[in-house]
C-alpha cells in the first residue's frame, strides 16, 4: 500500500508524560512549527478547475500547514473537481472538496486523516478476536514476534511463550502479517478463523554474515579473505567509550599500544596496529604520520583516526576489520597495515521513530603502580646520600639548618600526599538522539550527539558536539543517499603535568600558614635549592586549549539497470579547521630567571584542511547454471588533500591577567611566524573479481594501479595485486551428506603486495625554505629544507596468509585461525647524511622487514537455547607475532648511537623491532657493591662497553589475548573480559631513574621506596641495586629489563532488555539499561610507574537506550 505520509496517534498515558516534550518537538518540526486549534484555523483561498481531488487536498495542505494522511492510490480514483473557495476554514474547504466523493475526514490536533466512507450498515463494525501461537521449525515458541493487520497500524507482539491475541474488524478478508528478526515474513488470511498457529522459517539471507569492504560487499561464506565484522551490539558489550576500545577486546589482531607517558589522556590519539608492523618503529616524527597505522574507512570514504575515536557508538551499525591481502588489496598502496571499515546506521523505513541513547560515567585515577617514599623515608634517604654534607664549612652550617627545618616538619606530622592534588573524579556523559522514518521511496534521519569527557586530571576535558542528516531516496532503478555530518570538538589540557605532583617531596606543605599557596616549596638561595610549587603554577591563568570544527558530506548515487549489475558514483568532501592556544603566565616559576621582556608565553597554531574524494564503480554479480557465481568490480577513484598550517609565539606579558597576544612585547626569542602548506593527490584504478563453484571452491583476484604525489617523480605510479583461495568443505557431499556437525568448515589462503602511504606529503620531494637574512640583488634567498629522491621506491609488503574458519555443533563451537608471513621490501627510513650539504637526513629505501605470527578466536556455547533467550558463551582470543630486519646494513647507525643512553631499541640485520639491546649484567657484586657485566664473548668484567651489547629481552609477548564470558537469560545479560599477556620483557624506567641514577638535582624530587630499602649498603650485602650515590651514573644494562606478564579485568557489563509485552503497555518500542566497569584491576610481574604525565583511569558507567 502506498501512503503519502504516516503519522503516529497521540495517546498519552501517565507513563509517557515523561516523553511528551520529545514527541511534541518532533510534531512541531514536521508541521513547520504550527499546531492549530479550532479558534485559529487559517482561512483558505482556492481557485481550481478540473483538478484531481488529491491535488486539491495538496493545495489545502500547503496553505494550512497541517499534516495530511491518506491512501494515495485510493484517493487518486476519486475523480476531479472544480472549486472556488474564498475565506473558508480548513473544515469548510474539506467539506466542499470531499462532497459526494465517497471519502470523509477527521482532524486530530494538527493531523488530517482522510479515509473512504464506511456504508451506513457497517456503522457498528463486527470484530473478531484471533488467538494462536508462533513457533519455529523445532516448535519452540518465539517471543516478541510482531503481528500486524495488513494495511493498518493495529498490531500486537507474542508473549514469552509465543502466544498472541489480536482483535480486528471483520471487513473483507483481513490478512495478518507475522514478522520477526532473522525469520521470513509471513502473511496469513484470517478467513473467519479464531485460532491461527504459525511456523516461521529462518531467513537465510538475513542470517548470513556480510563482509563490507567500503567498496563492495560479499557474503562471508563466499569470501576468501581474512576479515571479521562486529555489529553495534557486540561493540557495546565491551563498553560505551568508543569503537577502538571495543575492538581491542573483541579482535586479537587489533592492538592498541599502551601509552605509558600519557595514560588515559582523552585528548591523545593512540598508536594502533593490525597484525604487527610493516614499517620501521620509531619513525613517526620523521614521517609526519604513524607508518604502522591502519587505514580507516567511514561510510566508504577515507577518514582520520581522530574522527573514528570521536564517533559515537550509537551511530555505528557495524565495523569490519580487513586483515590479509585478499581483503585489503582493493585499497592497494594504502592497505599494508590493514583496514578498519566503519558503517553508520541508515534510517529505518516505517513510521516516525525517536530513539535516545545516553550514558553517565564515573572515572578515577589508578595510582596502584606508584611506590613513593613518605616524608620520613625521603629525608632519611637524603641523609644517607650525603645531601646535607659539604666540604665547605660555610655550607655545612647552612645544610645542617636546612636538615633540621625539614626534620621539624616531619616530626610535626607533615607527610603530604601530592598525587591527589591535580586529580578529580571524572564525570563523563554521552547523549545521542536520532529521529528517523520514511517509506520505501524516501527515508530520512536526523541525529544530535553530545559527549562531554572529563578526564581524571583537573582542567582535562574533551567535548564533542555533532549533528548528522541522513537522506535516502529511491525511484525505480535509481537510488541516492547523502550523509552530512558536522562535528565540533573542544579540548582542554592541564598546564602542569601529573609528574610534577608525583615528584614533589612529601616533607613540604601544600599551603602556607595563612592557607595561601606559595610560589616555591623551598627557595634557599644560599644552597642553590629552588623547588617550585606545582599548585602555584596550576592556580595561574595559564591554559592549553583547542577546538576543531569539521564538516563532512558524502553523496552516493546508484543505478541498477538489471538485478545482476549496478553502477555507483560517490563523492565526499571534508573541511576542517583546528585552533590551538597555549598561554603560560609570566608569574610561572619557569620564567623566574628570564628578563621581563620574555616572561610569559603565548602560542597560537591554526590548521586548515580541505579534502575531496570521488570514485566510480561498476559491480556485476550473477549465478550461472545454479553453480557458477561470478562477481566483478571495476572502479576508479581520485582524491586531493590540502592543508595549511600557521603559527606564531609571543613573549613578554606584563601580568598573568593579560592573556591575549596583543599584550605581548614581541615574538619569542629568535622567533617569527611560521607557515607551511601541503597538497597530496592520488588517482587509482582497481579491479576485484570473484568466482565460486557450487559455493565450494572460491577464488578472489584483485588488481589495482595507484598514483600518488607522495612518491618521487619517476615512481608516481605503482601496481598492487592479491589472490585469495578458499574451500568450503562443509558444502562437500562427503561432509554434508554424512554429518551435521559442521555449519562451516572453510580453508583459506591468500597472497598479495599491498603498500603503505603513511608519509608526509613532501617527504620524497626536494623542498626549499625562504630565508630573509639571505636577501640579495636577485631577491629572497632559499635554502634546501629536505632532499628528495625521484627514484624512491614505494614501500610494499608481500603478505601471505593461511587460515581456517570452523563452526560446529549447531553453531555452538567456533574457531577462527590465521597465520601470516609479511615481507616489507623495500623499507623506507630517514638516513643520516653529512651536515655539509645543509640538512642532516633524507628519506631512502633501506633493506626489508619480515613479520610473522598468528592470531585466532575460540568460542564455545556451554548453554545454547536462542529461542528461549538463554545462552552462556566463553571466548578465548590469542595472538603472537615476531619481526626482524634484513639488509639494512649500517644505514641506521645514527639511531643506534642516539639510543644508547635513553633507549634499548637498535636497528641491526636480524634484529627485531621489539628486541631490547643492552650489555648483560650479572647483578651487584656483594663484596664491592659494583655491577658485574658479561662481555659479548662471555667474560666477566666491571667495565661497561657498548660494544658488548646483545639482545637481552623482547617486548613482544609470547602470547596475549582476551578471555571472555557472556551470559544471557531472558533479557538479562552479563559479560566480562580478562586481558592476559605472557612472555614479554620491558625496560623498567622507574628502577633506572628513581632507584638508581639519582643525582643531587634529582633529590629535589620524591623517589621510589626501593631506593632506600633495596640498595647495597655494606660488603657481603646481597642487593638488587647499587649503593646510594649522588655522583655515579649507571648505564642501562640487562638488570633493568624485567618480565612484564600481566592480567587485567578489562570490561564488565550487566544489562537488561525489557520485554516486548511490557514495552507495548507503555507504548515504547524497546528499552535497555546497562552498567559497565572498565579497567577495574591489573596484576603485573613488573613494578614500574604507569601514567607518568597523565595517569591511567578506572571507570564505572550506566547507559540507557530507549526507542519511542
What CATH number has the domain bearing residue 90? 3.55.50.30
pLDDT tier, 345 (very low <50, low <70, confident <90, very high otherwise): very high
- The residue from 190, 205, 220 where one domain ends is 205
- The residue from 205, 237, 259 where one domain ends is 205
- Compute the distance between CA of residue 242 and CA of residue 248 in angstroms, rounded to an integer: 11
**Cα angle value 865/871/313 (rounded, 5°):** 125
pLDDT tier, 712 (very low <50, low <70, confident <90, very high otherwise): low
The arithmetic mean of pLDDT across residues 852-866, rounded, is 93
Q: Tell me which range, 58-72, 707-721, 917-931, is most confidently predicted by mean pLDDT.
A: 917-931
On the question of pLDDT at 3 being above 70, the answer is: no
With respect to residue 896, please indicate whether it lies within any of the assigned structural domains. no
| Same domain flag for 97 and 144 | no
Is there a contact between 389 and 396 (Cβ–Cβ < 8 Å)?
Answer: yes
| Same domain flag for 146 and 78 | no
| Same domain flag for 20 and 112 | yes
The CATH number assigned to the domain holding 138 equals 2.60.40.1120
Average pLDDT, the chain: 87
Burial of 63 (0-12, 13-18, 19+ CB in 10 A): middle
Q: Which of 1006, 1013, 1039 is nearest to 1028 (CA)?
A: 1013
Q: Maximum distance among all alpha carbons in the chain?
A: 121
Rg of the chain in Å (alpha carbons): 35
Instruction: State which residues form the domain around 61.
Output: 15-117
Q: Say what the pLDDT of residue 37 is.
A: 41
pLDDT tier, 286 (very low <50, low <70, confident <90, very high otherwise): low
| Same domain flag for 23 and 92 | yes
| Same domain flag for 169 and 191 | yes
With respect to residue 1027, please indicate whether it lies within any of the assigned structural domains. no
- Compute the distance between CA of residue 617 and CA of residue 633 in angstroms, rounded to an integer: 7
With respect to residue 613, please indicate whether it lies within any of the assigned structural domains. no
| Same domain flag for 178 and 138 | yes
With respect to residue 58, please indicate whether it lies within any of the assigned structural domains. yes
Q: Say what the pLDDT of residue 945 is.
A: 94
On the question of pLDDT at 280 being above 90, the answer is: no
| Same domain flag for 98 and 140 | no
The arithmetic mean of pLDDT across residues 741-767, rounded, is 82
What angle, 0 to 180 degrees and rounded to 10, lies between the N-to-C axes of helices 90-97 and 53-64? 180
With respect to residue 961, please indicate whether it lies within any of the assigned structural domains. no
pLDDT tier, 970 (very low <50, low <70, confident <90, very high otherwise): confident
The model's pTM is: 0.82
Q: Which of 311-320, 514-523, 757-766 has the lowest mean pLDDT?
A: 757-766
Hunting for cell 538463554 — which residue is that?
870
| Same domain flag for 59 and 133 | no
CA atoms within 13 A on the CB side of 383: 12
What is the torsional sign of CA 315, 317, 321, 322?
negative
pLDDT tens-digit series, residues 104-156: 888 876 778 888 776 544 446 678 899 999 988 777 778 778 888 887 767 88
C-alpha cell at 1064: 507495548
The arithmetic mean of pLDDT across residues 796-810, rounded, is 93
Q: Which of 75, 76, 77, 95 is nearest to 85 (CA)?
A: 95
Could you give the percent of the chain with pLDDT greater than 90? Answer: 57
Q: Say what the pLDDT of residue 762 is.
A: 62
CA distances from 1013 to 492, 505, 954 (A): 40, 18, 29
- The residue from 53, 82, 117 where one domain ends is 117
On the question of pLDDT at 551 being above 80, the answer is: yes
Bond prior to 826 in cis (omega within 30° of 0): yes
The arithmetic mean of pLDDT across residues 217-234, rounded, is 88
Q: Are strands 795-808 and 742-752 parallel, antiparallel or unpaired?
A: antiparallel
pLDDT tier, 282 (very low <50, low <70, confident <90, very high otherwise): low
pLDDT tens-digit series, residues 635-666: 999 999 999 999 999 999 998 889 889 999 99
| Same domain flag for 39 and 70 | yes
- Compute the distance between CA of residue 964 and CA of residue 942 in angstroms, rounded to an integer: 49
Q: Say what the pLDDT of residue 118 is.
A: 61
C-alpha cell at 1074: 546497562
pLDDT tens-digit series, residues 381-390: 999 999 998 8
Q: Are strands 828-832 and 478-492 parallel, antiparallel or unpaired?
A: unpaired
Size of the chain, expressed as the number of residues it contains? 1108
| Same domain flag for 41 and 61 | yes
**Cα angle value 705/711/717 (rounded, 5°):** 20
| Same domain flag for 20 and 86 | yes
With respect to residue 105, please indicate whether it lies within any of the assigned structural domains. yes
pLDDT tier, 31 (very low <50, low <70, confident <90, very high otherwise): very low
Number of domains in the chain: 2
On the question of pLDDT at 780 being above 70, the answer is: yes
Is there a contact between 447 and 434 (Cβ–Cβ < 8 Å)?
Answer: yes
With respect to residue 62, please indicate whether it lies within any of the assigned structural domains. yes
C-alpha cell at 37: 486549534
With respect to residue 315, please indicate whether it lies within any of the assigned structural domains. no
pLDDT tier, 297 (very low <50, low <70, confident <90, very high otherwise): very high
Q: Say what the pLDDT of residue 21 is.
A: 38
pLDDT tier, 934 (very low <50, low <70, confident <90, very high otherwise): very high
Is there a contact between 546 and 598 (Cβ–Cβ < 8 Å)?
Answer: no
| Same domain flag for 143 and 80 | no
On the question of pLDDT at 439 being above 60, the answer is: yes
Q: Say what the pLDDT of residue 829 is.
A: 80
Q: Say what the pLDDT of residue 15 is.
A: 32
pLDDT tens-digit series, residues 158-199: 877 788 999 888 777 788 999 886 678 889 988 888 899 999
Torsion angle defined by CA atoms of residues 906, 908, 914 and 917, in that order, rounded to the nearest 10 degrees: -50
Amino acid at each position: 500500500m502506498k501512503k503519502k505520509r504516516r503519522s503516529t496517534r497521540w495517546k498519552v498515558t501517565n507513563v509517557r508524560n515523561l516523553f511528551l516534550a520529545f514527541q511534541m518537538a518532533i510534531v512541531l518540526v514536521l508541521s513547520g512549527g504550527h499546531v492549530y486549534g479550532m479558534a485559529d484555523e487559517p482561512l483558505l483561498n482556492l481557485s481550481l478547475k478540473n483538478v484531481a481531488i488529491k491535488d486539491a487536498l495538496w493545495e489545502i495542505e500547503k496553505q494550512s500547514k497541517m499534516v495530511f494522511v491518506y491512501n494515495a492510490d485510493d484517493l487518486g480514483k476519486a475523480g476531479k473537481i472544480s472549486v472556488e473557495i474564498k475565506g473558508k476554514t480548513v473544515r469548510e474547504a474539506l467539506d466542499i472538496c470531499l462532497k459526494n466523493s465517497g471519502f470523509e475526514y477527521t482532524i486530530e490536533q494538527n493531523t488530517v486523516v482522510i479515509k473512504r466512507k464506511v456504508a451506513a450498515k457497517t456503522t457498528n463494525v463486527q470484530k473478531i478476536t484471533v488467538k494462536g501461537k508462533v513457533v519455529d521449525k523445532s516448535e519452540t515458541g518465539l517471543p516478541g514476534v510482531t503481528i500486524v493487520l495488513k494495511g493498518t497500524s493495529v498490531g500486537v507482539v507474542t508473549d514469552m511463550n509465543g502466544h498472541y491475541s489480536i482483535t480486528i474488524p471483520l471487513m473483507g478478508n483481513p490478512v495478518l502479517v507475522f514478522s520477526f528478526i532473522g525469520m521470513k515474513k509471513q502473511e496469513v488470511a484470517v478467513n473467519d478463523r479464531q485460532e491461527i498457529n504459525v511456523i516461521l522459517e529462518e531467513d537465510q539471507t538475513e542470517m548470513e554474515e556480510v563482509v563490507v569492504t567500503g567498496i563492495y560487499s560479499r557474503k562471508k561464506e563466499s569470501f576468501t579473505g581474512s576479515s571479521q565484522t562486529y555489529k553495534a551490539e557486540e561493540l557495546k558489550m565491551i563498553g560505551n567509550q568508543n569503537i577502538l576500545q571495543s575492538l581491542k577486546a573483541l579482535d586479537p589482531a587489533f592492538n592498541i599500544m599502551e601509552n605509558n607517558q600519557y595514560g588515559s589522556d582523552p585528548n591523545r590519539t593512540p598508536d594502533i596496529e593490525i597484525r604487527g608492523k610493516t614499517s620501521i618503529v620509531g619513525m613517526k616524527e620523521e614521517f609526519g604520520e604513524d607508518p604502522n597505522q591502519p587505514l580507516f574507512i567511514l561510510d566508504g570514504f577515507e577518514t582520520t583516526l581522530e574522527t573514528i575515536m570521536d564517533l559515537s557508538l550509537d551511530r555505528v551499525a557495524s565495523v569490519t576489520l580487513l586483515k590479509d591481502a585478499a581483503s585489503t588489496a582493493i585499497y592497494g598502496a594504502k592497505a599494508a597495515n590493514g583496514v578498519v571499515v566503519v558503517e553508520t546506521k541508515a534510517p529505518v523505513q516505517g513510521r516516525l521513530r525517536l530513539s535516545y541513547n545516553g550514558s553517565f560515567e564515573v572515572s578515577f585515577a589508578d595510582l596502584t603502580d606508584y611506590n613513593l617514599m613518605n616524608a620520613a623515608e625521603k629525608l632519611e634517604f637524603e641523609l644517607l646520600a650525603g645531601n646535607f654534607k659539604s666540604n665547605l664549612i660555610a655550607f655545612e652550617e647552612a645544610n645542617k639548618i636546612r636538615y633540621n627545618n625539614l626534620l621539624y616538619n616531619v616530626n610535626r606530622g607533615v607527610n603530604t600526599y601530592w598525587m591527589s592534588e591535580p586529580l578529580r573524579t571524572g564525570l563523563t556523559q554521552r547523549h545521542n538522539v536520532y529521529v528517523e522514518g520514511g517509506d520505501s521511496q524516501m527515508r530520512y534521519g536526523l541525529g544530535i550527539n553530545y559527549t562531554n569527557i572529563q578526564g581524571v586530571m583537573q582542567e582535562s576535558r574533551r567535548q564533542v558536539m555533532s549533528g548528522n542528516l541522513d537522506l535516502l531516496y529511491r525511484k525505480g532503478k535509481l537510488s541516492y543517499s547523502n550523509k552530512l555530518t558536522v562535528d565540533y570538538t573542544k579540548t582542554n589540557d592541564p598546564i602542569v603535568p601529573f609528574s610534577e605532583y608525583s615528584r614533589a617531596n612529601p616533607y613540604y606543605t601544600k599551603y602556607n600558614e595563612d592557607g595561601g599557596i606559595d610560589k616555591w616549596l623551598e627557595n634557599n638561595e644560599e644552597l642553590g635549592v629552588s623547588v617550585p610549587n606545582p599548585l602555584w603554577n596550576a592556580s595561574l591563568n595559564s591554559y592549553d586549549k583547542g577546538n576543531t570544527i569539521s564538516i563532512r558530506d558524502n553523496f552516493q548515487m546508484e543505478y541498477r539497470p538489471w538485478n545482476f549489475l549496478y553502477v555507483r558514483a560517490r563523492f565526499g568532501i571534508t573541511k576542517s579547521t583546528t585552533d590551538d592556544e597555549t598561554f603560560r603566565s609570566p608569574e610561572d616559576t619557569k620564567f623566574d630567571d628570564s628578563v621581563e621582556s620574555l616572561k610569559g608565553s603565548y602560542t597560537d597554531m591554526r590548521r586548515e584542511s580541505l579534502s575531496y574524494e570521488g570514485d566510480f564503480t561498476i559491480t556485476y554479480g550473477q549465478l550461472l547454471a545454479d553453480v557458477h557465481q561470478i562477481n566483478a568490480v571495476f572502479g576508479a577513484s581520485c582524491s586531493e588533500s590540502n592543508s595549511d598550517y600557521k603559527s606564531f609565539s609571543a613573549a613578554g606579558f606584563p601580568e598573568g591577567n593579560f592573556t591575549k597576544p596583543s599584550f605581548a612585547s614581541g615574538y619569542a626569542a629568535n622567533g617569527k611566524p611560521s607557515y607551511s602548506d601541503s597538497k597530496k593527490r592520488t588517482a587509482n584504478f582497481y579491479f576485484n573479481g570473484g568466482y565460486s563453484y557450487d559455493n565450494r571452491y572460491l577464488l578472489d583476484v584483485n588488481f589495482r594501479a595507484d598514483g600518488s604525489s607522495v612518491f618521487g617523480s619517476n615512481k608516481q605510479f605503482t601496481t598492487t595485486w592479491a589472490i585469495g583461495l578458499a574451500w568450503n568443505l562443509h558444502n562437500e557431499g562427503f561432509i554434508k551428506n554424512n554429518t551435521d556437525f559442521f555449519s562451516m568448515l572453510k580453508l583459506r589462503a591468500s597472497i598479495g603486495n599491498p603498500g603503505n602511504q603513511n608519509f608526509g606529503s613532501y617527504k620524497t620531494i626536494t623542498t626549499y625554505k625562504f630565508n630573509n637574512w639571505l636577501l640579495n640583488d636577485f631577491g629572497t634567498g632559499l635554502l634546501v629544507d629536505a632532499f628528495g629522491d625521484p627514484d624512491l621506491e614505494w614501500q610494499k609488503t608481500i603478505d601471505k596468509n593461511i587460515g581456517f574458519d570452523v563452526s560446529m555443533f549447531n553453531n555452538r563451537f567456533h574457531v577462527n585461525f590465521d597465520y601470516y608471513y609479511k615481507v616489507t621490501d623495500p623499507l623506507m627510513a630517514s638516513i643520516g647524511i653529512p651536515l655539509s650539504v645543509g640538512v642532516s637526513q633524507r628519506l631512502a629505501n633501506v633493506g626489508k622487514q619480515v613479520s610473522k605470527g598468528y592470531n585466532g578466536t575460540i568460542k564455545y556455547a556451554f548453554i545454547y537455547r536462542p529461542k528461549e533467550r538463554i545462552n552462556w558463551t566463553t571466548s578465548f582470543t590469542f595472538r603472537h607475532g615476531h619481526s626482524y630486519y634484513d639488509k639494512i646494513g649500517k644505514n641506521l647507525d645514527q639511531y643506534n648511537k642516539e639510543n644508547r643512553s635513553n633507549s634499548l631499541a637498535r636497528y641491526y640485520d636480524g634484529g627485531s623491532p621489539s628486541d631490547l639491546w643492552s650489555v648483560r649484567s650479572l647483578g651487584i657484586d656483594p663484596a664491592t657493591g659494583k655491577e658485574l657485566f658479561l662481555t659479548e664473548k662471555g667474560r666477566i668484567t666491571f667495565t661497561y662497553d657498548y660494544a658488548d651489547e646483545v639482545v637481552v629481552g623482547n617486548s613482544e609477548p609470547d602470547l596475549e589475548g582476551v578471555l571472555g564470558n557472556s551470559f544471557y537469560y531472558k533479557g538479562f545479560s552479563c559479560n566480562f573480559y580478562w586481558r592476559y599477556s605472557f612472555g614479554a620483557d620491558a625496560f623498567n624506567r622507574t628502577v633506572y631513574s628513581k632507584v638508581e641514577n639519582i643525582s643531587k638535582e634529582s633529590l629535589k624530587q620524591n623517589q621510589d621506596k626501593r631506593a632506600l630499602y633495596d640498595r647495597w649498603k655494606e660488603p657481603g650485602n646481597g642487593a638488587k641495586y647499587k649503593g646510594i650515590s649522588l655522583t655515579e651514573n649507571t648505564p642501562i644494562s640487562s638488570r633493568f629489563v624485567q618480565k612484564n606478564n600481566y592480567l587485567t579485568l578489562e570490561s564488565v557489563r550487566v544489562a537488561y532488555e525489557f520485554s516486548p509485552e511490557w514495552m507495548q503497555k507503555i507504548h515504547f518500542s524497546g528499552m535497555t539499561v546497562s552498567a559497565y566497569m572498565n579497567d577495574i584491576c591489573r596484576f603485573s610481574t613488573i613494578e614500574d610507574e604507569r601514567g607518568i604525565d597523565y595517569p591511567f583511569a578506572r571507570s564505572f558507567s550506566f547507559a540507557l537506550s530507549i526507542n519511542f
